[in-house]
Amino acid sequence: MASAFKKFVPLFDRVLVQRLLPEAKSKGGILIPEKSMGKVLIAEVKAVGEGTRTDNGDVRKMNVSVGEQVLLPEYGGTKVTIEEEEYHLFREGDILGKWQQTH
């Protein structure tokens, strides 16, 4: 899997994410049927493009980086399969937010 990310680099302001797996059990321990599981809107960033170019040609740095967890919109993105794993490509501006990393 790691070799796929060396080969695939998102362009411009695009972000490659992998959605987190949905919870299969409720907090009380009851198994949730697959049909009843909601769409997971939290994903981990796997690769980012270099950013967009400003009017004067400078590159605007991305606001997300590899390893961060982000909140995705309910719809959108492009599904991509790399080495039999499912990922999604989003524009950085479509990502709704990210969780602060605590150290």
Count CB-CB contacts under 10 A for residue 46.
Answer: 20
pTM of the model as a whole? 0.74
> Exposed, middle or buried, 79 (CB in 10 Å: 0-12/13-18/19+)?
exposed
pLDDT of residue 16: 92
> Exposed, middle or buried, 51 (CB in 10 Å: 0-12/13-18/19+)?
middle
Sorted by sequence, the CB contacts under 8 Å of residue 56 that are 6+ apart come out as: none
Question: What tens digit of pLDDT does each residue of 12-40 get?
Answer: 889 999 888 766 665 666 665 655 555 66
Question: What tens digit of pLDDT does each residue of 60-97 get?
Answer: 888 888 889 999 998 888 999 888 888 999 999 888 88
pLDDT of residue 31: 61
* Closest among 7, 92, 93, 12 to 45, alpha carbons compared: 92
